[in-house]
Amino acid sequence: MFAGFDIGGTNIKSVITDESGKILKYMDTATPATAKGIDKTLADIILDLASSISASKEQILAIGIGAAGSIDRNKGIVITSPNVPSWSNYPICRNVEKLTGIKVFLENDATAACAGVWWHTIKDKYSNWIMLTLGTGIGGGAVIDGRLFTGQSGSSMEVGHVSLNPDGPLCPCGNRGCFELYSSATALVKYVKLKMKSFPSSTLKPLDVKEITAKKIYEEALCGDTLALEGMNYVSTYLGIGIANLINIFNPEAVIIGGGLSQASKLLFPKMKEIVKERAMKGLKENVKFIAVKEQSMIAALGAAKIARDRYNIP
Ligand SMILES: [Zn+2]
């Protein structure tokens, strides 16, 4: 058996799986405030996961951790993470190994989500595909020739920080006009708030600022609100531009869209596909499948378990 963790700023999602990727138990736990607290909680969850399926801790062969931010997968260190500020060159693998006695592997959370989709949805269907996770920012993952792409240290596929506009707004990463400033859930909300004055009759107008979420905008767009629809159009246009760039690089069989905003695929996909058709190169764009991820919540934790299995089994 293998355990997988997806450590977010508010929640730790965890699974225990068998060798084939069947989820035996899923848990959702609040993220403690300190790095040491997280280590301890992970060790406690391992015991809970095992006992919930009447197994012993010793039956768990390896643990996988998906963490947001820049990591060093070889050293098992989180260099820096937006979710957990107390992680700074933090040796999470060594610490959790000490507490549990189980081998621990670390991967970027978007890479883990990609591995989860691979195990859960794609299986052997495609051997070249990319994934985008649309949430607060935009994460990315890729499977190339049937292998999960990780880059030198595990911080690859930061597609959200590919610049689409050299004179665009400054991004916290230091670059300008980054993809995620135009096509994430955050970007959608920001755009709609900015345009509010020009749409006095919008159904979003009477809402409190805090109530204007990506989900709410999508709901109002479905009901035909012009502002909400314009927001969706804006986000999907840039999504198409970003994806066309990626298609030209990867020549993928499929583009998988995950993250909270992928739930709006019904409204995002038509415009996005139109832009891809306009902009990606001939010979690369024709046979690409676009797939929105279902069952989001446990996908990165599942992928972390797959990564643990795969890396554990390497001789
Ligand atoms: Zn950036």
CATH number for the domain formed by residue range(s) 124-292:
3.30.420.40
Rounded to the nearest whole angstrom, what is the distance from the C-alpha of residue 149 to the centroid of ligand 1? 21
The pLDDT of residue 77 is 97
- Residue pair 241/164 in contact (Cβ under 8 Å)? The answer is yes
Rounded to the nearest whole angstrom, what is the distance from the C-alpha of residue 170 to the centroid of ligand 1? 8
Give the integer Cα–Cα distance in Å for 155 and 148.
13
In the chain, DSSP assigns E strands to: 2-7, 11-17, 23-30, 62-67, 70-72, 77-80, 88-90, 103-108, 129-134, 138-144, 147-148, 254-258, 289-292
Rounded to the nearest whole angstrom, what is the distance from the C-alpha of residue 205 to the centroid of ligand 1? 30
Q: Give the residue among 108, 106, 81 at the shortest CA–CA distance from 92.
A: 106
The pLDDT of residue 237 is 98
Q: Name the token pair of 86.
A: 């107390």
- Residue pair 245/119 in contact (Cβ under 8 Å)? The answer is no
Look at residue 214 and give its three-state secondary structure.
helix
Rounded to the nearest whole angstrom, what is the distance from the C-alpha of residue 250 to the centroid of ligand 1? 21
Rounded to the nearest whole angstrom, what is the distance from the C-alpha of residue 44 to the centroid of ligand 1? 36
Rounded to the nearest whole angstrom, what is the distance from the C-alpha of residue 166 to the centroid of ligand 1? 11
Residues of the chain with CATH 3.30.420.40: 2-115+297-312, 124-292
- Residue pair 268/234 in contact (Cβ under 8 Å)? The answer is no
Give the integer Cα–Cα distance in Å for 213 and 234.
16
Give the integer Cα–Cα distance in Å for 70 and 122.
26
Q: Give the angle 123-18-149 at the CA atoms, nearest 5°.
A: 45
Look at residue 269 and give its three-state secondary structure.
helix
Q: Name the token pair of 178.
A: 């980054």
Rounded to the nearest whole angstrom, what is the distance from the C-alpha of residue 123 to the centroid of ligand 1? 32
Rounded to the nearest whole angstrom, what is the distance from the C-alpha of residue 138 to the centroid of ligand 1? 10
Task: State the distance between the two ends of the chain, measured CA to CA, in whole angstroms.
Answer: 18
Rounded to the nearest whole angstrom, what is the distance from the C-alpha of residue 270 to the centroid of ligand 1? 26
Give the integer Cα–Cα distance in Å for 70 and 108.
7
The pLDDT of residue 30 is 96
Would you state the torsion angle of the CA atoms of residues 132, 135, 137, 138, taken in this order, to the nearest 10 degrees?
0
User: In the chain, which stretches have pLDDT less than 50?
Assistant: none
Q: Name the token pair of 226.
A: 């012009």
Q: Given phi > 0 = left and psi -120 to 50 = alpha, else beta, which region is 146?
A: left
Rounded to the nearest whole angstrom, what is the distance from the C-alpha of residue 45 to the centroid of ligand 1? 34
The pLDDT of residue 294 is 84
Q: Which CATH number fits domain 2-115+297-312: 3.80.10.10, 3.20.20.80, 3.30.420.40, 3.90.226.10?
A: 3.30.420.40
Rounded to the nearest whole angstrom, what is the distance from the C-alpha of residue 184 to the centroid of ligand 1? 12
Q: CA of 272: how far to CAs of 26, 162, 231, 264, 280, in Å?
A: 33, 17, 13, 12, 12
Q: Give the residue among 105, 169, 177, 183 at the shortest CA–CA distance from 140.
A: 183
